[in-house]
Amino acid sequence: MDQWWAAQTGMTVNSGDQVRTGPASSAIVAFTDGGFFQLDQNTDPIFSWAVFGQIRCIVVDLLEGQGAGNGEICIRTASLAVEAGSEVNIWATPRQAVLTLLRGRLTVTWPQRMALLPGQEVTANAGSSAVAVRNLSPAELPQRVAWRGRYAFNWPAPSYQAAPPPPLPRCPEGQVYDPGSRSCVPVSTPAPPPRCPEGQVYDPRSRSCVPVSTPAPPPHCPEGQVYDPRSRSCVPITQQPSTVCPAGQVYDPRTGHCVYNIR
């Protein structure tokens, strides 16, 4: 049985630790390099670190929930993996992941490799190699992180406003500096998630293939409203979707828009 402790402000999160939020609660994990990752309610990622090429990034393994991050972050879900040096928002379930790039740079590394531009959003489904990318309007971008406004934090903490640390030592070719051990370590390239049998998806927490669970159907909404899986509530219909899309695009019922189907 997993053992959990009540989190306190200033508590250290080590590599391999899992942080969990309950209903109507949030938490911010601040990185020593100045970046951060904020958890929405009912979210429980595992934090670690890895080296990709010459970049050392914080790895966030997220099976279900929502979060927003800034900095050198590598996010892995059951259907999507990315490397980001930027500001992003991620929403994930065991069957689907939606990642929005607000600022900076981002590279999708799985299920296919591609670069994302600021203001774009990528959607991936578990078990599929196809991803859908679309451009968000200036009005849609702040909506993706509007959930953060439900929480109030006295943050950034003063301890993260200190003078910058001294430069890192130079390492031999093929090695990078690891501040945890304070030494140069070999550059390692993590293996991609394994392919799972039909009816299963890869779970980054247990690092194994697990059966795909059938989600409960969305609740019935009053006339004039639709169910929003992000807020898990019924919201007013702002635009009637069209099921006829231009050539090269498909209708996305989650967003109510036509999106490019990239294969």
> What integer pLDDT is reported at residue 87 of this predicted model?
92
Residue 165, Ramachandran bin (φ over 0: left; ψ between -120 and 50: alpha; else beta): beta
Among 7-16, 50-59, 157-166, 230-239, name the one with the lowest average pLDDT. 157-166
Look at residue 183 and tell me whether its pLDDT is greater than 90. no
Look at residue 1 and tell me whether its pLDDT is greater than 50. no
Give me the half-sphere count of Cα atoms (radius 13 Å) on the Cβ side of residue 234: 9
Q: Which domains does the chain have, with CATH numbers?
A: 11-211 (2.60.120.1440)
pLDDT tens, position by position, 28-70: 999 887 789 999 999 999 999 887 666 778 999 999 999 999 9
pTM value? 0.61
Among 133-142, 167-176, 227-236, 244-253, name the one with the lowest average pLDDT. 244-253
- In angstroms, rounded to a whole number, what is the distance separating the alpha carbons of residues 14 and 49? 10
What is the distance, to the nearest Å, from the Cα of residue 140 to the centroid of all Cα atoms in its chain? Answer: 18
Look at residue 182 and tell me whether its pLDDT is greater than 80. no
> What integer pLDDT is reported at residue 165 of this predicted model?
44
The letter for the amino acid at 181 is: S
